[in-house]
Chains A and B, each alone.
Chain A
Amino acid sequence: MFTEIIEILDRFLSFFEQSLAFLGHHLFLIFGLLAIVASVTMVFAKNAVHSVLAFLATMICTAACYFTLQAEFLAVAQLLVYAGGIVVLFLFVVMLVELSRFKENRLFQRQTPLAMFVVLLGVVGFLTMFRRLIFAPSASEALTLSPELAEGLDVAGQNAQAISRGMFTGYLLPFETMSVILLIALIGAVVLAKQERV
């Protein structure tokens, strides 16, 4: 009796362990799927607040994806900036702005069949692409990252260092350009919102 219970518990534990290991190996896929589900929810949610919450879930799942790829810095930045800052702003805006007026407004209804067709075409195209990529004979070889990049992943411990080096050496010009782009966004907000001009 006692041994049987132990055996069942043991089996259960090993099954649990195995499934945990399975999950651990496929965390990226799981969080990726969750992110997709959340983003679809965001698009189709009737209530704007639900939509924003789904957006938050998408952002957190994306951050988790970065974690599984050992890009800790990116993941933390994603959590801080998007999940922490931007989504809260969105929530504020949604709560301040009266959205009930737009509820009955069914925009773009005429184009729905065409849009469905295009989306189906895209889905079929991408499924074909993934099938050919994943089940092709030399797939395992082609899908592995190049040695140089794999080395980069080995030093994932110094993730922030690697990113900062990239920003100030190889990617200096795009990085500086991006700072100007942010400035333009600021100017644009002022130009479009300022009351009088003279």
Chain B
Amino acid sequence: MPFAQALWESLARDSRLVTPVILLWLAGTLMLWPLGSLLLKRMPKDRWAFFTVAILLLSGWFVINTPNAIGFADMFRVDGVTKGFQILCIAAGILTVALGRQQLGALKEHSVEYYSLIIFSISGMLLLVGATDLVSIYFAVELMALCVYILVGYLRTQERAVEASIKYFLLGAFSSGILLFGISLIFAATGGTTTNLERLGQAIALAPGNQDLLVFSGVLMVLIGFAFKVAAVPFHMWSPDAYEGAPTPVTAFMSMAPKAAALAAFIRIFGTGFNGVAENWIAPLSFIAAASMILGNIAAFKQQSIKRMLAYSSIGHVGYMLLGVLAMDSQAGAQAVWFYMMTYLFMQAGAFAIVIYLQGANEGERIEDFKGLAKRRPLLAFAMMVFMLSLAGIPPLLGFFSKFYLFRLAIIEGYITLTVIALLTSAAAAYYYLNVVAQMYFKEPGEAAPPPVCICTKAIVALCSAVLLVGTAFGPWIMDWVGKIVWG
């Protein structure tokens, strides 16, 4: 059978590209059955955290050793950008598992399903960052997002978790519909032959003149779909509620991993696929970026809850990162966004570790609860200060360098107005970040004795602040190393 033989050969050739994904799928499925429900039923549930971390580390090792190639009928491509963002997603997953272990244990909400959902979600992200076809991009987005919808509603006895989950699910499904509609319009406008990004780029250029409007609406709808996924203004409505209602480790996960993956796909779609019709999306995307920077940072001012504040600030950060998408040079854009996302990941993970510590101490998640932390836990307070200053982009911390490279790229590409807006808003953002620092250092603590710090929190805070502080020393050179990773 020549057909079957050819099929088998191409499968054997292409499956090398997705070994980490296959590993995650196998592990996630086996965890549910028979390991979790039959063989290792007696094992304490929090041990699964170590298992998950081990699996994620193994898949990270596979990612590094994957050959650079294109496969699956040009639907999946492994190159430096793919590998770089895949490693970011895996790192975010490991940090999430470490963040959640103690809190879930305290709530008695450990289950195998939680970890397997994280694993499946990361497998979707790994597929998304390498996808080079609108069809594979769509399915990878769905796989990634569906797991996160469920994780948001994981604490299903809490009313706000259920509300956040339903809100996120409905808006997410709606945005997926818009994304799919946009894809079908583009597919029709280019003659209905291909959804591959590179061929689509050529086909769009050759499309007859009266298809302009069809291409325009299609590109705009894809843009809207992805703006929903990265929570950019004006499609950010779900994000503060979902962030607040989700379990805090999941909030951290949502602010790191899906954003990294969606931004990578964003760069790939608009950098390679829709490069030829840039005049269709430059203006709307510039508007989205500027609105995200302004509204995200302004709305963060008056938030009482630190989770909501971090949600709005992450909207602002997405606005900055969209500058990298706007830079038509997709390699340089990917490089700058990768570096920004990498530092953002460590800052967010560290900040959320401390928020989770305070929650475990029976204090809420309000910014006031940080008061006097410097007297009670000087080291934690110092680390939190590092994270906040770095998020604000104050030199010489690593957050400053990541902003610097991104803004420099934007200036080189000629987005002067946007860069000015970005600079102004990041200066304004320093206010609410420094507010947290002021609460910690200049307010008197409450009476209650500080609870012990769990080993996971210690490890994460130490790791993240070490990365930020050591990275600071190498700031000027770090971009060259990033270049080596992303250029593959």
> Pick the contact of A192 from B143, B150, B210 — CB < 8 Å?
B150
User: Which residue of A has the minimal Cβ distance to B45?
Assistant: A198
Are B191 and A145 neighbours in the complex by a CB distance under 8 Å? yes
CB-defined A-B contacts under 8 Å, sample of 5: A132-B213, A169-B73, A187-B120, A188-B147, A191-B113
> Pick the contact of A133 from B113, B191, B214 — CB < 8 Å?
B214
Distance A190 CA – B18 CA, assembled complex (angstroms): 28
Residues of B within 8 A of A168 (CB): 7
- Seed contacts A177-B143, A181-B139, A188-B150; 11 additional CB < 8 Å A-B pairs: A125-B217, A138-B209, A142-B211, A170-B75, A173-B18, A181-B143, A184-B120, A185-B146, A187-B150, A190-B113, A197-B111
Distance A141 CA – B210 CA, assembled complex (angstroms): 11
A178 within 8 A of B: yes
- Contact residues, B125-157 vs A (CB, 8 A): 127, 135-136, 138-140, 142-143, 146-147, 149-150, 153-154, 156
Distance A171 CA – B147 CA, assembled complex (angstroms): 22
B-contact bits for A138-151, CB 8 A (1 contact / 0 none): 11011001101100
- Contact residues, B164-222 vs A (CB, 8 A): 191-193, 208-211, 213-214, 217
Are A172 and B73 neighbours in the complex by a CB distance under 8 Å? yes
A97 within 8 A of B: no
Does more than half of chain A's interface fall in helix, strand or loop, or is it mixed?
helix
B466 within 8 A of A: no
A137 within 8 A of B: yes
Are B110 and A188 neighbours in the complex by a CB distance under 8 Å? no
User: Which residue of A has the minimal Cβ distance to B117?
Assistant: A187
> Pick the contact of B156 from A145, A181, A192 — CB < 8 Å?
A192
Are B11 and A198 neighbours in the complex by a CB distance under 8 Å? no
Q: How far is the CB of B7 from chain A (nearest CB, A)?
A: 6
Residues of A within 8 A of B210 (CB): 132-133, 136-139, 142
Residues of B within 8 A of A187 (CB): 32, 113, 116-117, 120, 150
- Contact residues, B7-51 vs A (CB, 8 A): 7, 10-11, 18, 25, 29, 32, 45
B109 within 8 A of A: yes
Residues of B within 8 A of A129 (CB): 213-214, 217
Distance A191 CA – B114 CA, assembled complex (angstroms): 8
A157 within 8 A of B: no
Residues of B within 8 A of A141 (CB): 208
A174 within 8 A of B: yes
> Pick the contact of B110 from A142, A178, A191, A197 — CB < 8 Å?
A197
Are A191 and B154 neighbours in the complex by a CB distance under 8 Å? yes
Residues of B within 8 A of A149 (CB): 191-193
A128 within 8 A of B: yes
Q: How far is the CB of A182 from chain B (nearest CB, A)?
A: 10
A180 within 8 A of B: yes
Residues of A within 8 A of B238 (CB): none
Q: How far is the CB of B140 from chain A (nearest CB, A)?
A: 6
Are A174 and B193 neighbours in the complex by a CB distance under 8 Å? no
Distance A197 CA – B46 CA, assembled complex (angstroms): 12
A6 within 8 A of B: no
Are B193 and A146 neighbours in the complex by a CB distance under 8 Å? yes
> Which residue, of A148, A174, A181, has the highest number of chain B Cβ atoms within 10 A?
A174
- Contact residues, A32-62 vs B (CB, 8 A): none
**Do A133 and B213 form a contact, CB below 8 Å, given A172-B11, A174-B135?**
yes
A5 within 8 A of B: no
Are B72 and A172 neighbours in the complex by a CB distance under 8 Å? yes
Q: How far is the CB of A71 from chain B (nearest CB, A)?
A: 14
Q: How far is the CB of B171 from chain A (nearest CB, A)?
A: 14
Residues of A within 8 A of B138 (CB): 174
Residues of B within 8 A of A177 (CB): 124, 127, 136, 139-140, 142-143
Q: Count B interface residues, CB 8 Å.
A: 48
User: Which residue of A has the minimal Cβ distance to B151?
Assistant: A191
> Which residue, of A132, A178, A184, has the highest number of chain B Cβ atoms within 10 A?
A184
> Pick the contact of A197 from B18, B108, B120 — CB < 8 Å?
B108
Residues of A within 8 A of B120 (CB): 180, 183-184, 187
**Do A197 and B117 form a contact, CB below 8 Å, given A141-B208, A142-B211?**
no
> Pick the contact of B136 from A128, A138, A142, A174 — CB < 8 Å?
A174
> Pick the contact of A173 from B32, B117, B136, B192 — CB < 8 Å?
B136
Are B150 and A184 neighbours in the complex by a CB distance under 8 Å? yes
Are B116 and A148 neighbours in the complex by a CB distance under 8 Å? no
User: Which residue of B has the minimal Cβ distance to A144?
Assistant: B191
Q: How far is the CB of A5 from chain B (nearest CB, A)?
A: 51
Distance A117 CA – B133 CA, assembled complex (angstroms): 35
Residues of B within 8 A of A142 (CB): 208, 210-211
- Contact residues, A151-172 vs B (CB, 8 A): 168-172
User: Which residue of B has the minimal Cβ distance to A143?
Assistant: B188
Distance A20 CA – B217 CA, assembled complex (angstroms): 36
B344 within 8 A of A: no
Residues of B within 8 A of A198 (CB): 45, 108, 110
Distance A132 CA – B120 CA, assembled complex (angstroms): 44
B-contact bits for A65-109, CB 8 A (1 contact / 0 none): 000000000000000000000000000000000000000000000
A-contact bits for B349-362, CB 8 A (1 contact / 0 none): 00000000000000
B251 within 8 A of A: no
Residues of A within 8 A of B432 (CB): none
Residues of A within 8 A of B140 (CB): 177
Distance A187 CA – B120 CA, assembled complex (angstroms): 11
Are B147 and A184 neighbours in the complex by a CB distance under 8 Å? yes
B312 within 8 A of A: no
Residues of A within 8 A of B143 (CB): 177, 180-181, 184
Distance A168 CA – B73 CA, assembled complex (angstroms): 11
Are B117 and A191 neighbours in the complex by a CB distance under 8 Å? yes
B275 within 8 A of A: no
10 shortest interchain CB distances as A-B pairs:
A136-B210, A188-B150, A177-B139, A173-B72, A146-B191, A170-B73, A174-B139, A142-B208, A191-B113, A146-B193
Distance A146 CA – B208 CA, assembled complex (angstroms): 13
Distance A10 CA – B7 CA, assembled complex (angstroms): 59
